Structure 1
């Protein structure tokens, strides 16, 4: 008689805020999973009355004992993630966003990976980004990495090839073993009124530093439909406060993660070179002839300098 493999209990955590149409699509995708989650925890703000009314109406029409709502009294995804961790009872905690729709085999793949690989602390995959009437295309072999001098490589939305070890997972498509999480929580010091950009980077790096393996598998898929955010940190428009918050978060994380030599190199790299999202002075000059031009690039550079100073002060406290 064959021996049945022990199952893992899977919880899915979905933070949401004022996006009921997106949330409907997300929950429909979770309902359509080949292997259903043992519990789906929707984390909503206590004063988001439109979402709360919609959820209560949906629950009245389609009750499901595996799905439940927890109310959040603080703004920001960090608080939502942490409340989800505290509320979940699963052996594996999966995270996605309300504007995403996991593929039907999403939970089955996650459950199988954690069941077969006891060293696995975290698993993430590709988000297929729908934007401007199309899908962001590309193929990149390097995904979710942090160089010794602080250069970060994302590419989670265009990774391809085989599953491989990474250092950073992406919030829209990630899962962690409960035992690997332990007492770790998302960093409440990170700035932002909504998305609190880079919070999953801090969480991933901390878990990796404690010896757990993180894997990125491009076959683990969610459809991602990024909508304009409801807070300052918009995706497609520049806002000084939101840019400062994102830059502060990135710099704080790297100042605490890198070696002393790496921190010094990072300060020089980010101040002089940087990347398109966070340009240093030289890159700012190179962007002079692109849309937005030199003025916007230099504005980002100046805000980045302020963010570096603030992050350094926070890191050395």
Structure 2
């Protein structure tokens, strides 16, 4: 029997996702390994905060609280970390639902004391019912999902993906929290990579740490119609380049781009060849996928170049939330550095 207790943090920001939020919470409440607590962190939206508090007022396992830091996903997650009491903190996107054994697979990995983080597999729930014909599976990270090229099974990785991830509390005590100024801020430009920066920082603070992905820990992430369009694809790729520039400024290019080198030199060329081969076999969608891969790489490279120039000029600053040792109540204390 596991001695771990899991706090689940769901960061929310808009009433437009009301149904998604309720579904996410319900999926946590239906876990085969029960969550110790569920925390809904509301990002500077008093109306949504009041509505959720009314909805879960009588539920002793759901806590609704405001983001105590600046607007954005990273500060929301840090608020959840600070207020949680479990030995493991899991994060679930507000527009995703977890399969019943999601937490059970996470907890099983933590029986090894060296494991500091465990991520899972995120499956897209396309609004149209299927992936657009032109959309390459190698780029499903664009919509926050597991992409072709990640190894199967329970494997060691450089970083977990933030919308379906868990961390041992000791990880935050060793490395601090999520850096603000990297990740998403509501509906603004879809930046990311805050979990990448944190995981690299964690491995530097704890060289013995193991970070894993277990593809049996599955969630289903809703992809709305707007994110099925090429315009969003291009915007997200550009934002990824900007984000990677911020990460490499923090941790260096060798660590910040280690996984990306394999992805761009092996996974993506294979995707292009697969698309061209399909086109030659009379399936024109293959050529569209190959073209999207080339466009995605070029757009991300442009974003990285722009982000690098801005960093050298002193732009793109971000703040890392440092976690002090846990207090008597088991909670970590957040501090800005």
User: Considering the TM-score relative to the shorter chain, is it more than 0.5?
Assistant: yes
Distance of 1:291 and 1:6 partners within structure 2:
45
Structure 2 vs 1, CA of residues 109 and 191 (structure 1 numbering), >3 Å: closer, same or farther? closer
Instruction: Find the counterpart in structure 1 of residue 95 from structure 2.
Output: 99
Q: CA deviation at 1:208?
A: 2.2
Instruction: Find the counterpart in structure 1 of residue 329 from structure 2.
Output: none
Q: Structure 2 residue aligned with 1:22, among 7, 20, 26?
A: 20
Answering whether residue 69 of structure 2 is matched by residue 71 of structure 1, we say: no
Q: CA deviation at 1:252?
A: 2.0
Which structure 2 segments of 5+ residues have no match? 269-286, 318-337
Distance of 2:80 and 2:147 partners within structure 1:
24
Instruction: Find the counterpart in structure 2 of residue 35 from structure 1.
Output: 33
Answering whether residue 168 of structure 2 is matched by residue 187 of structure 1, we say: no
**Structure 2 residue matching 1:7: 3-state secondary structure:** coil
Written as runs of structure 1 = structure 2, the 5 A alignment for 1:143-154 is: none
Q: CA deviation at 1:54?
A: 3.6
How many pairs were matched up? 277
**Structure 1 residue matching 2:86: 3-state secondary structure:** coil
Instruction: Find the counterpart in structure 1 of residue 305 from structure 2.
Output: 305
TM-score (norm 2): 0.68
Answering whether residue 146 of structure 2 is matched by residue 156 of structure 1, we say: yes
**Structure 1 residue matching 2:146: 3-state secondary structure:** coil
Structure 2 vs 1, CA of residues 208 and 314 (structure 1 numbering), >3 Å: closer, same or farther? farther
**Contact conserved, 1:101 with 1:222, CA < 8 A, in 2?**
yes
Structure 2 vs 1, CA of residues 314 and 170 (structure 1 numbering), >3 Å: closer, same or farther? farther
Structure 2 vs 1, CA of residues 138 and 8 (structure 1 numbering), >3 Å: closer, same or farther? farther
**Contact conserved, 1:243 with 1:300, CA < 8 A, in 2?**
yes
Q: Structure 2 residue aligned with 1:58, among 48, 51, 55?
A: 55
Query: If each structure's helix is expressed as a fraction of its own residues, which one has the higher value?
Result: 2
Instruction: Find the counterpart in structure 2 of residue 149 from structure 1.
Output: none
Answering whether residue 252 of structure 2 is matched by residue 252 of structure 1, we say: no
Between the two structures, name the one with larger relative contact order (CA 8 Å, sep ≥ 6): 2
Which structure 1 segments of 5+ residues have no match? 145-153, 277-285
Distance of 1:70 and 1:213 partners within structure 2:
31
TM-score (norm 1): 0.72
Q: CA RMSD in A?
A: 4.1
Instruction: Find the counterpart in structure 2 of residue 128 from structure 1.
Output: 123
Instruction: Find the counterpart in structure 1 of residue 231 from structure 2.
Output: 237
Instruction: Find the counterpart in structure 1 of residue 214 from structure 2.
Output: 217
Q: CA deviation at 1:13?
A: 0.5
Instruction: Find the counterpart in structure 2 of residue 282 from structure 1.
Output: none
Decide which moves more: 100-109 or 64-73.
64-73
Structure 2 vs 1, CA of residues 291 and 128 (structure 1 numbering), >3 Å: closer, same or farther? closer
Distance of 2:228 and 2:193 partners within structure 1:
14
Instruction: Find the counterpart in structure 2 of residue 283 from structure 1.
Output: none
